[in-house]
A and B are shown apart, each in its own frame.
Chain A
């Protein structure tokens, strides 16, 4: 007889449920069964009405973020074997985001914050394509490479207590992404991004809880990125101190 494992899945269908509730499913267990496999098994074999996001199954696309036993995790990178003998596994939509349906979160707030910091190479003058690529040494790339690993999965936002209390806070992902471009030798847009880092909703809303870096599935370490952003914003404040005191600086 096949071993079974109980998965408790959060359900929420806005047209018929007043509030989210929990439904238990029995899933055939195997050593290599991920949470995503279990959710797909439930949807394919047991209840086709279950809604969850997924795509790549290999921690690249960042779409299968859920709370597993109250911890933000990628469903594809989390295996049921690690939860054996610890009772039923509970899966629910990411914290700190509105729930659209079942395990699907409305991450439009995160997407807006990512766009705010202009996460692309900004140049004072764009070189014509014919001149070739902007060159960079491996050392120059190393300065931002770790922060460039972000897959925008939103786990750090689900982990961040400050974002939970104030969704206007740009949050760990967007601030790490801002740092990724500010540290890129090919980029000339740091001055444009500084106004966002300097703001109340920028780096200064962070109290360095550090849970974002713990849950990041790509080891981006957004908490370190924000702290480096604080140093940059601090220097920017000192450089502009005269204008700030004269009331001529509001960014």
Chain B
């Protein structure tokens, strides 16, 4: 029996889903809504987020919050297309979905290093 390598994709998918479920609403609240609704001073909020991005741990956290949900989404789209019978050849679709998630994650990591 040939072992499936799906566990790699599924682990990233699962991690992204968990992260989104736990931190997603909080992230939207703190980065998009609170600065405008509650903080009263958008510039101070902007500076605070800037400080978070300047710290190595902050970079890791933000990268995790971008990269893992990307893998989660594209994994679901890849299998969703299969379920909808919109199946293109396997390898190009894998390259497009998982390669796309890898590429976008790498660009995010590069951008985070430059901040």
Contacts and interface: CB of A to CB of B under 8 A. Distances in A.
Interface stretch (A66-74, A103-111, A198-206): A198-206
B3 A244 contact: yes
A249 B10 CA distance: 19
A233 B79 contact: no
A61 interface: no
B30 interface: no
Q: What's the interface size class on B, roughly? A: 10 to 19
Contacts of B8: 237
Contact of A204 (B4, B82, B83): B4
B7 A233 contact: yes
Contacts of A230: 10
A11 B14 CA distance: 46
A53 B2 CA distance: 37
A209 B83 contact: yes
A251 interface: yes
A161 B87 CA distance: 14
B83 A196 contact: no
A250 B7 contact: no
A238 interface: yes
B7 A207 contact: no
11 contacts: A161-B83, A198-B3, A199-B3, A199-B4, A201-B1, A204-B4, A204-B6, A204-B7, A207-B79, A244-B3, A251-B1
